[in-house]
Structure 1
Amino acid sequence: MKGESFALDPLEEENAAYSAMKTNAELWHKRLGHFNHKAVMTLQKKNMVQGFPYLELDIRDCIACQQGKQTRLPFKQATWRATEKLKLIHTDVFGPYNTPSLNGSKYFLIFIDDYSRMCWIYFLRFKAEVAGVFWKFKQWIETQSGHKIQVLRSDNGKEYTSNQFNLFCEEAGIEHQLIAPYTPQQNGVSEKKNRTIMEMARCLMCEKNLPSEYWAEASHTAVFLLNRLPIKAVVGRTPYEVWFGFKPFLKNLKVFGCLCFVYVPQIKRDKLNKKAEEWIFIGYSLTSKAYEIFQPNTKKIRSSERCVFHGK
Structure 2
Amino acid sequence: MLEAALYIPSYPQDMFSVKAATNNGATVTFKQGCNILTHKDGTTFNIKEQGRLYYLNVVDEEIVGDRVNAVYDVHTWHEILGHCNFEDILKLQDVVKGKFVNSRSRKLDAKATTPLELVHTDLAGPINPVAKDGFKYAATFTDDYSGAIFVYFIRNKGDTALVLEKFLADCAPYGKVKCIRSDNGSEFTGMLLSQY
Give the structure-2-normalised TM-score: 0.45
* Structure ID, larger Rg: 1
- When you count helix as a share of all residues, which structure comes out higher? 1
Q: Which structure is richer in relative contact order (CA contacts within 8 A, separation 6 or more)?
A: 2
